[in-house]
Amino acid sequence: MASTPSSPKEHHFVDIHPVLSDDSDNLNRLRDSQSSDTTVNFRAGGDGEGRERRLQRNVWTFSRQIHLESGIGMFDVEKKGSVEGESSGNARGKSLGGAGATGGDAGHRKGYFDMFRTKSALGAKQNSLMPSWKENEPDPDNAEGIPGSAGADDRVNKSVPAGRYFAALRGPELDQVREYEDILLPKDEVWPFLLRFPVGCFGICLGLGSQAILWGALSSSPAMAFLRVSPNINLALWVLALAILVSVSVAYTLKCVFYFEAIRREYFHPVRVNFFFAPWIACMFLAIGVPPRWAPRHLHPAIWCGFIAPVFVLELKVYGQWLSGGKRRLCKVANPSSHLSVVGNFVGAILAAKVGWGEAGKFLWAIGLAHYLCLFVTLYQRLTTSQALPKELHPVYSMFIATPSAASIAWHAIYGEFDAVSRTFYFIALFLYCSLVVRINFFRGFKFSVAWWSYTFPMTTASLAAIRYAEEVTCFFSKGLALSLSLMSSTIVSLMLVSTLLHAFVWRSLFPNDLAIAITKDRSDGAKAQDKEKKASKKNYGLKRWAKQSSLSLVSSIRRGHSGDKDLK
Name the β-bridge partners of 169: 177
Burial of 201 (0-12, 13-18, 19+ CB in 10 A): buried
Q: What is the DSSP string of 448-489?
A: --GGGGGGTHHHHHHHHHHHHHHHHS-SHHHHHHHHHHHHHH
Q: Which of 26, 136, 220, 424 binds a second copy (CB under 8 A)?
A: 424
363: contact with a second copy by CB under 8 A: yes
Taking the least distance from each CB to a second copy, the nearer of 362 and 560 is 362
Answer for which of 178, 382, 545, 566 binds a second copy (CB under 8 A) is 382
- Asked if 77 touches a second copy (CB under 8 A), the answer is no
Which has the closest alpha carbon to 95: 114, 108, 76?
A: 76
Comparing CA positions, the residue from 524, 508, 510 lying closest to residue 557 is: 524
**477 to 536, contacts with a second copy by CB under 8 A?**
478
Q: Report the C-alpha gap between 485 and 463 in whole angstroms.
A: 5
**Gap between the Cα atoms of 116 and 260, Å rounded:** 7
Q: Which is nearer to a second copy, 378 or 524 (CB)?
A: 378
Q: Residue 170 phi/psi, 5° resolution? A: -150, -175
| 380 binds a second copy, rule: CB under 8 A | yes
Q: How far, in Å, CA of 47 to CA of 148, rounded?
A: 10
390 binds a second copy (CB under 8 A): yes
Measured distance CA(290)–CA(36) in Å, rounded: 56
Find the shortest distance in angstroms from Cβ 322 to a second copy: 6
- What distance in Å separates the CA atoms of residue 388 and residue 402, rounded to the nearest whole number? 19
Q: How far is the CB of 306 from a second copy (least distance, A)?
A: 18
92, 180, 225, 431: which one binds a second copy (CB under 8 A): 431
Strands 169-170 vs 176-177: parallel, antiparallel or unpaired: antiparallel
Q: Which of residues 537-566 bind a second copy (CB under 8 A)?
A: none
Of the pair 200, 361, the CB lying nearest a second copy is at 361
Q: Which of residues 391-420 bind a second copy (CB under 8 A)?
A: 391-393, 415, 420
Among 170, 329, 508, 560, contact with a second copy (rule: CB under 8 A)? 329
Q: What residue spans of 273-326 are helical by DSSP H?
A: 278-288, 301-324
Number of residues that bind a second copy (CB under 8 A): 58
- Spatial CA neighbour of 183 closest among 34, 44, 10: 44
CB closer to a second copy out of 220 and 478: 478
Which of 106, 434, 487, 495 binds a second copy (CB under 8 A)? It is: 434
CB of 415 to a second copy, least distance (A): 6
**Cα Rg of the chain (Å, integer):** 27
379 makes contact with a second copy (CB under 8 A): yes
Q: Which of 167, 421, 527, 552 binds a second copy (CB under 8 A)?
A: 421
Nearer residue to a second copy within complex by CB, 384 or 540: 384
Q: DSSP characters for 109-149?
A: HHHHHHTTS-HHHHHHHHHHHHHHHHHH---GGGGGT--HH
Q: Does 159 bind a second copy (CB under 8 A)?
A: no
Q: How far apart are CB 486 and a second copy at their closest, in Å? A: 19
Contacts of 288 (CB under 8 A, 6+ apart): 213, 347, 350, 351, 354
DSSP sequence for 44-58: HHHHHHHHHHHHH-S
Measured CA to CA, the distance from residue 458 to residue 460 in angstroms comes to 5
Q: Which stretch binds a second copy (CB under 8 A): 7-15, 41-49, 60-68, 372-380?
A: 372-380
Q: Does 423 interact with a second copy (rule: CB under 8 A)?
A: yes
Nearest approach, Cβ of residue 55 and a second copy (Å): 48
By CB under 8 A, what part of segment 284-323 binds a second copy?
316, 319-320, 322-323
Residue 100 found at the interface with a second copy (CB under 8 A):
no
Residue 329: CB minimum distance to a second copy, A: 4
Residues with Cβ within 8 Å of 142's Cβ and at least 6 positions away in sequence, in order, are 148, 555
Q: How far is the CB of 80 from a second copy (least distance, A)?
A: 49
| Residues 212, 288: Cα–Cα separation, whole Å | 9
Q: CA of 39: how far to CAs of 27, 182, 447, 518, 554, in Å? A: 19, 5, 26, 14, 12
Q: Does 366 help bind a second copy (rule: CB under 8 A)?
A: yes
Q: Does 230 bind a second copy (CB under 8 A)?
A: no
Looking at beta carbons only, is 182 or 315 nearer to a second copy? 315
CA distances for 463 relative to 388, 456, 480, 498, angstroms? 29, 11, 11, 21
Binds a second copy by CB under 8 A, chosen from 11, 12, 439, 535: 439
Going residue by residue from 442 to 481, which x/- string records binding to a second copy, judged by CB under 8 A? x------------------------------x----x---
> Which of positions 342-361 make contact with a second copy (CB under 8 A)?
359
CA distances in angstroms from 402 to 196, 347, 457, listed in the order given: 27, 10, 7
> What track of x and - describes contact with a second copy for positions 108 through 147 (by CB under 8 A)?
----------------------------------------
Cα 411 → chain centroid: 32
Binding site for a second copy (CB under 8 A): 316, 319-320, 322-326, 329-332, 334, 359, 362-363, 365-367, 369-371, 373-374, 376-385, 389-393, 415, 420-421, 423-428, 430-431, 434-435, 438-439, 442, 473, 478, 567
